[in-house]
Amino acid sequence: MVALRQFRNANPSFADLTPYAGLVADGVILLKDGSLMAGWYFAGPDSESSTNIERNEVSRQINAILARLGTGSLSYFNYADRLNQLPLGVIGAALGTAILPQVSRHVGAGEPAKAAHVQAQAAELAMLLCLPAALALSVASGPLISALFEGGRFTAQDAAITAMTLAIIVSGLPAYVLVKVLTPGFYSRQDTATPVKTAGVTLIANVALNFILIPPFGIAGLAAAIAICSWLNCLMLYVILHRRGHFRIEGWLALRIGKQLIAGLAMAVALWLVKGQLAGFFAGSVGHRLIGVGALIAAGLAVYFPIVWVIGGMGKEDIQALVRRRGKAGSDSV
């Protein structure tokens, strides 16, 4: 550690804020204050103490729920989730990774207001990109699924069911991305327990909603349960940060997100109109369907970004500052 001191940045980073000094033995960690912390795995006897009849009953109930989804439903969900995960990985994961060192640096320097402002800038950029992505995936779900997956044993009916699943599940996409923006507010303060607890509550709610929504609605109920729980997790994280005084949605941020939503709705209307005009393309060959999807993408870009720019739905200076900070953080880490 002494030999590496000259290569370290003088500003505090995430590693400086964690209490761990080193692993001294299997399951034993030396903390920076000289104390020791031990960890171990423990599996409770619940599953061991249950009888075969009880375990079989649980399996029967799970199988009964999955059977109501219908043949091929899990495949429909997997295909839809592939498109849902694309903006989540590109936008959410990238922003969460980019802002964590910045938020940690400000928290370590005793500048909570600046840390909150970094998160607000990240939320603005996240919604600027995520809202149109969610609306576009919802409105154009049919043409997208048809162009990408339809063919062979994947029939037009399969594409229609998958498109419906995608249209429902992307309603939770903004919440997924916001969770990536909110969690650095906990990690930068050495609080890793709270996000885990909220995720646990979300998991329990998801299981309960699956039992409630899947029997009457099938695969649509599964998608709706996931979207609802993503917003539940996002809301819990925000409320906790707000009550602790670490982060809140200020007026300028709410106004810009509202303007972004207006531009996104205008884009959704344009996509709906273009989709109607090009209905013949989406029912044709693969080449025709790809041309139709290309026209939808071009129409969405041509409508959303000019409108959001004109009505002031994006803070040019804040976004440029956030991008500069991300570049500086990347160069520092190298």
Count of residues in the chain: 334
Q: What is the pLDDT of residue 173?
A: 93
Across the range 74-78, mean pLDDT stands at: 83
Task: Quote the tokens at residue 167.
Answer: 């249209």
Task: Quote the tokens at residue 183.
Answer: 């969690």
What percentage of residues in the chain have a pLDDT greater than 90? 39
Neighbours of 50 (CB within 10 A): 13
Name which of 304, 320, 297, 317 is nearest 259 in CA terms.
Answer: 304
Neighbours of 270 (CB within 10 A): 18
Contact 201, 234 (CB under 8 A): no
Q: Is the pLDDT of residue 332 over 50?
A: no
Q: What is the pLDDT of residue 87?
A: 85
Q: What is the pLDDT of residue 150?
A: 82
Q: Is the pLDDT of residue 63 over 60?
A: no
Per-residue pLDDT of 17-55, as tens digits, reads: 677 777 777 667 777 777 777 765 555 445 555 555 555
What percentage of residues in the chain have a pLDDT greater than 70? 78
Q: Is the pLDDT of residue 11 over 80?
A: no
Across the range 264-276, mean pLDDT stands at: 94
Q: Is the pLDDT of residue 172 over 90?
A: yes
Name which of 181, 186, 184 is nearest 91 in CA terms.
Answer: 181
Q: What is the pLDDT of residue 284?
A: 72
Alpha-carbon gap, residue 177 to 122, rounded angstroms: 10
User: What's the DSSP call for residue 154?
Assistant: B
Per-residue pLDDT of 197-253, as tens digits, reads: 998 899 899 889 988 998 888 889 989 999 999 999 999 999 999 999 999 999 999
Name which of 66, 169, 180, 135 is nearest 275 in CA terms.
Answer: 135
With cut-offs at 50, 70 and 90, classify the pLDDT of residue 67: low
Helices 73-87 and 219-243 pack at an angle, to 10 degrees, of 40
- List beta partners, residue 190: none
Per-residue pLDDT of 102-143, as tens digits, reads: 898 999 899 999 999 999 999 999 999 999 999 999 999 998
Q: Render the burial of 169-204: b for 16+ CB within 10 Å, e for the rest.
A: bbbbbbbbbbbbbbbbbbbbbeeeebbeebbeebee
Q: What is the pLDDT of residue 155?
A: 87
- Long-range CB contact pairs, 293-299, < 8 A, 24+: 293/140, 293/143, 293/144, 293/147, 296/136, 296/140, 296/143, 296/271, 297/136, 299/270, 299/271, 299/274
Q: Render the burial of 73-98: b for 16+ CB within 10 Å, e for the rest.
A: beebbebbbebbeebbeebbeebbeb
- Give me the chain's average pLDDT, please: 82
Alpha-carbon gap, residue 124 to 296, rounded angstroms: 25
Alpha-carbon gap, residue 231 to 174, rounded angstroms: 8
Q: What is the pLDDT of residue 46?
A: 52
Task: Quote the tokens at residue 188.
Answer: 């930068």
Per-residue pLDDT of 278-316, as tens digits, reads: 877 777 777 888 888 899 999 999 999 999 999 988 876
Alpha-carbon gap, residue 148 to 163, rounded angstroms: 11
Tell me the backbone φ, ψ of residue 218, rounded to 5 degrees.
70, -135
